[in-house]
Amino acid sequence: MKQYLRVCKKLNADAKNVWLPLFAILMLQMNAKAQDRQLVYDIMRKGDVIGTINFEERIKYKKRFLLLNSDVKTRFIFSFSDYCKEAAAYEDGVM
């Protein structure tokens, strides 16, 4: 009986060593299907940052999603604020 318990404990320890790398590999495979690229630019006027532009591209299977966000706050005679959000989806080069 003691021999059986030692074998079971060894099998459990070996199973733990196998499951963690297997789980990590499966998680990497799930994230590999989508590709993301994000660009962030500062909008400058006279050396001061007055806003930002965020550009994001996501590729999932044969579809490409483009997102553009811009936010500007400045003062020229009067206070000016603008926020813009654009989105587009392409599949096989067609919008």
Per-residue pLDDT, 11: 56
Look at phi and psi of residue 50 and say left if phi exceeds 0, alpha if psi is from -120 to 50, else beta. alpha
What distance in Å separates the CA atoms of residue 61 and residue 23, rounded to the nearest whole number? 23
Q: Quote the percentage of the chain above a pLDDT of 90.
A: 31
Among residues of the chain, what percentage have pLDDT more than 70?
63
Cβ-in-10-Å burial (0-12, 13-18, 19+) of 3 comes to: exposed
pLDDT tier, 45 (very low <50, low <70, confident <90, very high otherwise): confident
Which residue ranges make up each domain of the chain?
A: 1-32, 34-95
End-to-end CA distance of the chain: 69
How far apart, in whole angstroms, are the C-alpha atoms of residue 64 and residue 36? 10
- pLDDT tens string 50-92: 999 999 999 888 889 999 999 999 887 888 888 999 999 998 8
pTM listed for this prediction: 0.55
Structure-token match 């006279």, residue found: 46
Decide: helix, strand or coil at residue 47.
coil
Overall average pLDDT of the 11-20 stretch: 58
Stronger pLDDT, 27 or 53, i.e. the higher one? 53
Strand partners, 37: 57
Residue type at position 22:
L
